[in-house]
Structure 1
């Protein structure tokens, strides 16, 4: 079976909307003493929280990711360990390239004496998108188990994950909802891939209306805010960790995605349309990792030189200036992608070189597990604290990430007798 163009489109579209949303909400203010701050738009202008209903598109990314993973897992030629390692490296190799250059820049800035508050702000901006990476990495690693459960219980698995997230929502185990809620979307992708969500014409509208109604009730009469992005000062958040309202949004977006699938697939079947979408898919990881760099470059060019007009934050003139701000960023982005071409080619060769050439034996599985643990912890720290916590170089986290990546690389070189994919799948999935 060939690649599903609609699924590829959803992943590319999700990334592009995330990029646009981050660019839109990033507003800078230069104080009289020359310091530059980035007021939080959603907290400063509360009505903008309604915009997150359109920009919070990550449920579709996890849904499409689950669909793609189901197809990859079903057609694999590797064992479970080899498949998980390969998927992890696809995510971590480009991330390592990005992190290495960011850490280099932080190290140089520290040596040059850049003031700590500015460095901390820049480090946070360059790591704000990392929250997604450890979650997706763990779900990818758990795919052998999750897919085995899917084959046995089908749609009952995402129902169980969603129910578990509701039970844990107000307990000390609530952080597990990062995996349970986004795992629900990922597991629904399995069901979609195998046709369990498309067998009845009422499934899609039922998911859409049920999810939307539940979200409206939870926001209108419950304790949950309308914002689907973290807002500083909120007593309750929909994303930190994902709340029942976010779970409802996952269900609603799944239904909408299924409803739009037939006309979207007909449109994407036209080669002229697909040729416009295809480049976005091939660069989606680069876009996701690097999209805040043009913001910093433009900020330096306009704000450090006093060239930027600075109407009152959130005023009508300020909103009018959002359009040229977005257009300038969109003009800088192709230049950045072109500059990154040599790095991306180098990283692609590195990923190819790291593909397993020997069976992943017991020692390799141990190295794989340790590598996943170390990189997950490092990515989580960068996501929560940025690349320059307190304006200092994150040496321990950098070493942790490097050690984890080394373990994943060594996992492919271990010696050992490889079990058959079917047997390993059964042992992994029960």
Structure 2
């Protein structure tokens, strides 16, 4: 999400397919992992822990970082400086986020006037913008792209992935010893997501032969199962919150499987209808990612729980058919709203989408640091509620963190004003050149 390809070049269909599969899995997970149901005859949300554990082995967020690093490699190598590169990425990535934040702010404010300070509203305020953690984590990972771009051999790649896994395991160990998963575990945002990003570099530079990918995926799968069954990870640590060595092992499996199947995926994506569908979905991937969450919440809390429609016990034979029906409804609504909402992702904003020109070194570093601060604050306001429920999201205190996260981005945008006469491609057209891997991979 958030990456494009120059119109004169052909997109990498393997990366687009990986993004779409991952995006579809994310939607399914968010709908099925928690279900509106009846508990002792009363409406409630029920956590489906079987679904939680299943999704350790199914492509989820790691493939976004895998595809993102691979797609942005050529953009970085095209000669951009660090701050210019990060500002260009942030420009397109945050464009739909501004609309999303405005919508959530409006809805939660109206609900405050209608419902007052209820427990249910506080929950919605905390969780409604939770998915924006990806924006912060993705920019944080891209900030390391100059370092990742130095990976040029299979040996370099192996050492890098091993080191990131070791650092992730060290943070996990500290979390186990101190029993502070939801406080110390977030340090892994720096290390864990660099694992799929590095494998994306390996894919783009063809550093991983298919036979090696198969063997590595098998070993990583065994490690994932062992860590899930025997490891110290509480069942509450689902998906990627916070990132752990378990997720790193799962990420390695997912990325290596894509590399192993790359020729087959590329052949499958050559079909005209298949490719049109991939292009369409990838042209609005952030739209699907952001707004399916709102639709899921409105459907679950606004209709199922509030109106008590379609609620069945988890022990009922209709429980899972009902959940699949709910997933179908969410997908149908997303499909209907996709085209109008996609405009928020593709329509340039008058001030925000100005070209990002080359800058002198000091200003370039300042711009990069400011974007990085905005990314870190985005991570803070999306997940800090697990430490203190009064903070984070659009709670009364959390709103101030949201505003604080936008200030460094606005300052970075002002600092990256056009100051040198040069031919600059607009950020919406600034798309990394991506090579298509042949079947002889």
> Does the C-alpha gap of structure 1 residues 246 and 273 become closer, same or farther in structure 2, counting only changes over 3 Å?
same
Residue by residue, what CA displacement relative to the aligned partner does 1:167-226 show, whole Å, maximum 9, x if unpaired? 33212665332221210110111111111113xx4211111111012223333443346x
- Report the equivalent of 1:403: 407
Q: Deviation at 1:288?
A: 0.8
Unaligned ranges ≥5, structure 1: 226-230, 419-430
In 2, distance between residues paired with 1:309 and 1:392? 33
In 1, distance between residues paired with 2:196 and 2:378? 24
> Does the C-alpha gap of structure 1 residues 167 and 33 become closer, same or farther in structure 2, counting only changes over 3 Å?
closer
Q: Deviation at 1:19?
A: 0.8
In 2, distance between residues paired with 1:398 and 1:243? 26
In 2, distance between residues paired with 1:100 and 1:39? 29
Unaligned ranges ≥5, structure 2: 1-8, 176-183, 423-441
- Report the equivalent of 1:280: 281
- Is residue 206 from structure 1 mapped to residue 215 from structure 2 by the alignment? yes
- Report the equivalent of 1:122: 124
Which one of 111, 114, 120 corresponds to residue 113 of structure 2? 111
- Is residue 381 from structure 1 mapped to residue 388 from structure 2 by the alignment? no
> Does the C-alpha gap of structure 1 residues 215 and 354 become closer, same or farther in structure 2, counting only changes over 3 Å?
same
| Equivalent residues of 1:90, 1:351 under 8 A apart | no
Residue by residue, what CA displacement relative to the aligned partner does 1:363-402 show, whole Å, maximum 9, x if unpaired? 3531431242034213431234399769536331132122
Which one of 10, 13, 26 corresponds to residue 2 of structure 1? 10
Aligned partner of residue 38 in structure 1, secondary structure:
strand
Q: Deviation at 1:105?
A: 1.8
For residues 41-56 of structure 1, the aligned pairs below 5 Å read 41-42=48-49, 47-56=50-59
- Report the equivalent of 1:368: 368
| Equivalent residues of 1:378, 1:401 under 8 A apart | yes
Aligned partner of residue 297 in structure 1, secondary structure:
helix
Q: Deviation at 1:112?
A: 3.6
Q: TM-score, normalised by structure 1?
A: 0.82
> Does the C-alpha gap of structure 1 residues 183 and 351 become closer, same or farther in structure 2, counting only changes over 3 Å?
farther
Root mean square deviation, CA, Å: 3.1
- Report the equivalent of 2:47: 40
In 1, distance between residues paired with 2:394 and 2:305? 22
- Report the equivalent of 2:208: 197
Aligned partner of residue 56 in structure 2, secondary structure:
helix
After superposing the two structures, state which structure 1 stretch, 143-152 or 402-411, moved more.
Answer: 143-152
| Equivalent residues of 1:66, 1:186 under 8 A apart | yes
| Equivalent residues of 1:214, 1:248 under 8 A apart | yes
Q: Deviation at 1:241?
A: 3.2
In 1, distance between residues paired with 2:384 and 2:412? 24
- Report the equivalent of 1:186: 197
Q: Deviation at 1:150?
A: 5.2
- Report the equivalent of 2:416: 412
After superposing the two structures, state which structure 1 stretch, 118-127 or 50-59, moved more.
Answer: 50-59
Q: Deviation at 1:282?
A: 0.8
Residue by residue, what CA displacement relative to the aligned partner does 1:36-95 show, whole Å, maximum 9, x if unpaired? 6423222xxxx3344223445222222122211223222x25333211210122222222
In 2, distance between residues paired with 1:111 and 1:393? 17
Q: Deviation at 1:357?
A: 4.2
> Does the C-alpha gap of structure 1 residues 20 and 193 become closer, same or farther in structure 2, counting only changes over 3 Å?
same
Matched positions, count: 400
> Does the C-alpha gap of structure 1 residues 364 and 373 become closer, same or farther in structure 2, counting only changes over 3 Å?
same
- Report the equivalent of 1:392: 396
Q: TM-score, normalised by structure 2?
A: 0.80
Which one of 164, 169, 172 corresponds to residue 166 of structure 1? 169
| Equivalent residues of 2:304, 2:311 under 8 A apart | no
In 1, distance between residues paired with 2:108 and 2:394? 12
- Report the equivalent of 2:76: 73
In 1, distance between residues paired with 2:380 and 2:337? 26
After superposing the two structures, state which structure 1 stretch, 396-405 or 181-190, moved more.
Answer: 396-405
Q: Deviation at 1:302?
A: 4.3
Which one of 83, 86, 99 corresponds to residue 101 of structure 2? 99
- Report the equivalent of 2:227: 218
> Does the C-alpha gap of structure 1 residues 362 and 326 become closer, same or farther in structure 2, counting only changes over 3 Å?
same
Residue by residue, what CA displacement relative to the aligned partner does 1:106-145 show, whole Å, maximum 9, x if unpaired? 2222234434312122223422322322211101122123
In 2, distance between residues paired with 1:370 and 1:388? 21
